[in-house]
Amino acid sequence: MKKILCLLLALVMVMGMFAACGDTDETPATNAPVSDETKAADDATEAQVGSNSDVVLTFMTNVVGEKATALEAAIRDFEAETGYTVEFSAPGDSYEELMKTKMASNELPDVFTTHGWSVARYSEYLMPVNDMDFASRISDQIKPVITDAEGNMYVLPIDIDIAGMVYNVDVLESCGINVDDLTTWEAFADACAVIEAAGIDPMHIGGKDTWTIGQFFDWVAPSFYVTDEANSKAADLKAGTFDTAVWTELCQMLYDWTEAGYFNTDVLTADYSSDIEALATGTTAFCFYGNYAISDAMVVNADANLGMMPIPSNSADDEPTLIAGEDIAIGIWKDTAYSAEAQELLEYLARPEVCAKIAEAAGNAAGLTDVTVDLGVIQTYLDKYNTVETFAYFDREYLPSGMWDVMCSTGAEILALNSGSVEDAASVMEQSFMDKYVG
Amino acid sequence: MKKNSLQNRLRQSQMNLFYIPALVLFSVFVIYPFIKGIFISTTNWNGYSQNYKSVGIKNYLRLFTDKNVRTALINTLIYGFGSTLIQNALGLALALFLNEKFRGRSVLRAIIYMPVMIAPLIMGYIMYFLFSYNRGALNDIVMLFGGEAVDWMANGPRAVMLMTLVNALQFVGISMVIYLAGLQNIPAMYYEAAALDGVKPFAQFRYITLPLLHPAVTSAVTVNLIGGLKLYDIISALTSGGPGYASHSLSTLVHRTYFGAENAGYASAIGLFTFLLIMVISSIVTRILAAKEVEVS
């Protein structure tokens, strides 16, 4: 009898353990504020909303700060309108790692943002959006970036990240430099020499965060590999051939600039917030970031006089260019149990007034043709350079997934001025490219 | 007699059933991932794709030629043994001091133990503001005395030494508590007898305190060594393993290789190697110290 009792107790403990780990059928309560319109809705609508309350969509995003606030506010309004529950989560820095573990277990959120990787990384998990209503309104500027070889698009691009180099206008003016003259890297380096002689750091990289070093390569590499049509290596890269000599040349430029003192002294240990502070306070001239850096710097110093310029070319025969990429792009997991509801959410977010609010918070132009966004000072520069040719982010378009970290780590070795770091960086890049390339 | 023995065995087997929940948990969260990790280490899996292929022992062979693994291995040993040495020397000294009776000793004990309760990641961020080049507290002090600001973490070996020190100082409270417990278990009569025989304090320490503290030494060294060998949070907060790979430990390298370089297969091989390393080192050290305990007893 005792033995049976013990066995039962042990079984109960094991079952209890698994019950605690299991899913619950309870629907989480929504804390969405209910608008006056909703309160005034008729009985039929209430009944409809009541039946929708069983729907629980999960939404995950990489964005944080103002962007996340705007996105969450839109989602709460969607909840109020439909009666669905949307579990919104913005885990910040750990987003990418979380998504990788979710992809590994093939258990993704119903709706999620793709942070520039809708095609290269997430397309096998996403539902094509070509047949959705908003698809016809997607801007031609972003279409090539979010379309795969079969012509499928997988995301709603709320905004378009059009990026050049951000700079402090006052610093350049005080050094007598006109950004429109900085059309090649040679001219850029000459300007850096002038700025450095004035006792200001020409460029600022917060290398402790590592991704900040990868930014340098993403900004500079297109001018070495793809923007010059006559010498473009784009086809070779897509076909799986990596030109190591060109990467060596690029790394040598970084090494020379570091040796010349064109970067901040603490280039290896400063972080992104130091970059922003330096840009905002005029202790540096240039940073390799998108327009979000201008928004962030304005928070540090509202009086900062900041601008954006196209990225110089590597030869006088080529032209300066801009980078175009996804920013807030939202896709639907192809195996979601709530396909129709998730599509409803995307259509809601694509409404001009909703899309405009989120794009404005991101400081970017909208990804839909019929949406106008007030971007303040950034708009001046987007208008000024609206004829400049744009190219996709180098690592997303021309390198296999997983190369970003290689660029960051090898770049750090160069910034540390380690001997042989230039040649090492090029050979490690080539090896990693060959290892990771999938034809 | 025989009946009693049978009853005892039956009772014992009934009690053994209560191990089941713990065993299930251990199997699900330790044994299964461990076996799965061994399998993954023989593949080229990128950590998220549904597609991968077997590469045999290629990932293990790469361990021997990868200079980043070599750097991380050396750093891991420095983190492990360096922290252990500092924590034990300082912990013992503090325990001896705080074992004396004086006003405020409880408060002092609490203050020294307090950093243990701070999450290592938070401690890392606090230390980041201490060692920062711009407006870092340490550089402010250096400049106050007319010195030049130093980028403390820009040099790999120096960063490793500083992080070893930070880790040791944060967790010195654990060693102190273990040694305090050990000291309080030594009967006072030994010291009284020694004092009557005219034994000097240092000789008392050498011939009474140290031998009788051996069990505490074994515990403190083992705990500190394992903690140091798998150091992760402080590195992550202070240098992210940089510059380049210069201050990575094997634990941070596993994370970087898995999520950053998207090379889960190779990361699993490094992880398995780290597991074996910690297991071998800690069991050798424990055996050596346990043998000493036997000699003493």
Determine the residue of chain A that is closest to B49 in CA distance.
Answer: A104
Determine the residue of chain B that is closest to A8 in CA distance.
Answer: B17
Q: Is residue B232 part of a domain?
A: yes
CB contact (8 A) between residue B262 and residue A418: no
A332-376 tens-digit pLDDT: 999 999 999 999 999 999 999 999 999 988 888 899 999 988 888
Q: How far is A54 from chain B (nearest CA, A)?
A: 31
**Chain A residues with beta carbon closer than 8 angstroms to that of B260:** 404-405, 408
Residue with tokens 């992550």, as numbered in its chain: B236
Domains A53-160+326-377 and A162-324+381-436 share a fold: yes
Could you tell me the pTM of the whole model? 0.80
The C-alpha atoms of residue B47 and residue B33 are separated, in whole angstroms, by 14
Q: How far is A269 from chain B (nearest CA, A)?
A: 6
Across the strands, what pairs with A311?
A321
Q: Is residue B18 part of a domain?
A: no
**Chain A residues with beta carbon closer than 8 angstroms to that of B244:** 409-410, 412-413, 416, 418
The C-alpha atoms of residue A55 and residue B286 are separated, in whole angstroms, by 56
Record the tokens describing residue A154, joined without a space. Answer: 């997988």
Report the alpha-carbon angle A181-A184-A186, nearest 5.
100
Q: Where are the domains of chain A?
A: 53-160+326-377, 162-324+381-436
Position A32 scores a pLDDT of 39
Record the tokens describing residue B197, joined without a space. Answer: 């025989």
**Chain B residues with beta carbon closer than 8 angstroms to that of A103:** 48-49
Q: In this structure, are residues A414 and A421 in contact, taking their beta carbons and an 8 Å threshold?
A: yes
Instruction: Confirm whether the ipTM is greater than 0.85.
Output: no
Task: Give residues 176 to 215 of A whose Cβ lies within 8 Å of B.
Answer: 207-210
Kindly report the CATH number assigned to the domain that includes residue B161. Answer: 1.10.3720.10
Q: Is residue B290 part of a domain?
A: yes
pLDDT at residue B2 greater than cutoff 80: no
> Order of strands across the sheet with A390-392?
A365-366, A159-163, A322-326, A390-392
Distance of CA A417 to the CA centre of its chain: 29
CB contact (8 A) between residue B133 and residue A270: yes
Report the CATH fold assignment for A53-160+326-377. Answer: D-Maltodextrin-Binding Protein; domain 2 (3.40.190)
B171-225 tens-digit pLDDT: 999 999 999 999 999 999 999 999 999 999 899 999 999 999 999 999 999 999 9
DSSP A33: P
Mean pLDDT of B265-276: 95
Position A23 scores a pLDDT of 47
Q: Is residue B11 part of a domain?
A: no
Position A329 scores a pLDDT of 95
| Residue A231 in contact with partner chain B when CB distance is under 8 A | no
Position B17 scores a pLDDT of 83
Mean pLDDT of A203-230: 92
Contacts of residue A426, defined as CB under 8 A and 6 or more positions apart, other chains included, come to: A244, A245, A247, A248, A251
Mean pLDDT of A307-331: 93
Chain B residues with a Cβ under 8 Å from any Cβ in chain A: 10, 13-15, 17-18, 20-21, 24-25, 46-50, 131-134, 151-154, 239-240, 242-246, 256, 259-263
Q: Is A176 left (phi over 0), alpha (psi -120 to 50) or beta?
A: left
What interhelical angle do B264-296 and B214-229 show, nearest 10? 170
CB contact (8 A) between residue A265 and residue B18: no
Closest CA to A270 of A255, A254, A283, A256: A283
| Domains of chain B: total | 1
CB contact (8 A) between residue A266 and residue B24: no
pLDDT at residue A34 greater than cutoff 50: no
**Chain A residues with beta carbon closer than 8 angstroms to that of B154:** 266, 268-269, 416
The C-alpha atoms of residue A14 and residue A152 are separated, in whole angstroms, by 47
Record the tokens describing residue A335, joined without a space. Answer: 């195996």
Q: How far is A132 from chain B (nearest CA, A)?
A: 27
Position A182 scores a pLDDT of 96
The C-alpha atoms of residue A111 and residue A106 are separated, in whole angstroms, by 14
* Cα→Cα distances B263→B34, B45, B196, B246, Å: 17, 6, 67, 20
Q: Tell me yes or no: is domain A162-324+381-436 CATH 3.40.190.10.
A: yes
Determine the residue of chain B that is closest to A123 in CA distance.
Answer: B49
Q: Is residue B285 part of a domain?
A: yes
CB contact (8 A) between residue A409 and residue B46: no
Q: Is residue B8 part of a domain?
A: no
Strand blocks (E) in A90-247: 111-113, 155-157, 159-163, 165-168, 201-203
The parent domain of residue B279 ranges over 33-296
Identify the H or E element spanning A424: helix A421-436
Distance of CA A217 to the CA centre of its chain: 15
